[in-house]
Amino acid sequence: MRAAIYIRVSTDMQVEDGFSIEGQRTRLNSFAASQDWEIYDTYIDDGYSAKDLNRPEMKRMLQDMEDKKFDVILVYKLDRLTRSVADLHALLKTFDLYSVKFKSATEIFETTTAMGRFFITLVGAMAEWERGTISERVRFGVEQMVVEGRRPGGVLPYGYTKEEILIPEEAVLIREVRNLYLSGLGYKAVAIKMNREGKLRRGNDWTAATVAYTIENPYYAGILRLGSKTPSGNYVNSKRDDKVNCIYGDGSHEPVFTRLEYEVTKEYMARKSHGGYSQIKTYWFSGVLRCGRCGAAMFGRLTNKRSLKSGETVRTQYYICSNKHSNNSCDLPTFRQVHVEHLVMEYISRVQADMDKLKMESLEMVAEESKKTSEIDKAKRELSKITERREKWQYMFVEGLITKDGIRHKMLEEDASEQETRQRIANNQKSLSGIPKLVELAGLAEAWTYLDDQEKKDYVFTLFNRIEINTNVTKPKGVKNQFFPAYIQEVLFN
């Protein structure tokens, strides 16, 4: 029988005897050997919680199960697999669907009868209850610390040492950032001015995000906050804001601003926000569009209001490089969404122009995919051999055939071999993920005009992983409503 070994350790359990990766691996290998099972592969999620199934090795194991690569899943304890009753039910149904058995090396479970299923569900419910109870206790303790004026930990904001001591020269810069903002400058403008004057943030450039965080952060006014910030920005002394699940408390550290100054700043921020324009628009290429000059992500924004003779208000969607927006460190011009659309359709047309070339590339990709898959299978077999060699060294050590230093040296060699082999698997899997489905481009071009905004966004996000755009100009000047010269620099597919 082919067995899949699943191992999971969370950050706080890695040091516990019996729950470490090697501790679980040794016991599970021995158990599989006692059952005369062949180990197909070992799946290790290092540092992941069992609150859900969103774990890389869990996903890989379930995919291999669908491909019928093993017959039984072996774990050290049930809670290594999951601590959620809902996930447990889903997993058991999936195991049945693919005729895969489940076994815990330290617990007795029988899942073929109603009583057996009830028992394993009961154990799963206890694990979920334990996780929820621990979470509640931790949350309560942290909330109580904030209410009592004690900071619950985490990274201290700019301007303070690890001991929560205010740094005078940094406090001066923080106050200057606030004053510049209150003078009418926006976040980006404040960042650009500070950077140009050489007033950096511990050697790093200010960005629009760090300026906004500095201005809004109540810690600089002596206020501790746990949870999301309130939309209104009102400070509630040592009370819970149930609407946004926030806890506030009075800190014992030296503040940069007074409470009054902080409230003035928040009121000013609120006025600017309410005076803005908040119409929702769909940006078709957000998430995949990248700057061809610096590689940063490009995100969508709207132009200022523009009133026509008819009195109608027009809003135009643009894309801007995030580095340009944050601190003006990139000079790629902004692109209208219709311009990006035009460039993408041009790219698709070029691909479709030579169908013979398309067919040839498709054949080459199929061959490359087969080669990569073969290399991945070969590497997985090597991992199995590494596991077998580890067991051999352990046996020799127990029998006195190798010294303690000798087995330590051998284990380090096997660890290095395993790391190199897993890296080869990851590289080949990454190469496979980049093989484009060029035939889908034709479908996109044909369907594009019939799709609504959300369907276009979904189609682009499904098909493309990355679209890089570039241009040879920095400050384009041209006829109104015409496109300046630009091109698609690189395209990666999902």
Residues classed as catalytic: 10
As given in the structure block, the two tokens for residue 1 are 């029988």
CA torsion, points 66, 70, 74, 75, in degrees to nearest 10?
A: -40
Please state, in angstroms and rounded to a whole number, the distance separating the CA atoms of residues 350 and 344.
10
Residues recorded for the chain: 494
Reference 336, options 481, 228, 435, 467; nearest CA is 481
8 burial via Cβ count (<10 Å: 0-12, 13-18, 19+): buried
SS3 category, 24:
helix
278 burial via Cβ count (<10 Å: 0-12, 13-18, 19+): exposed
Strands 317-321 and 298-302: antiparallel
Reference 29, options 101, 105, 82; nearest CA is 105
Sheet with 223-226, edge to edge strand ranges? 223-226, 246-250, 240-241
* Cβ neighbours of residue 29 closer than 8 Å, sequence gap 6 or more: 5, 39, 387, 390, 391
CA atoms 441, 443, 448, 451: torsion sign: negative
Give the distance from CA 343 to its chain's centroid: 29
Contact between 445 and 319 (Cβ < 8 Å):
no
Reference 180, options 171, 168, 191, 195; nearest CA is 191
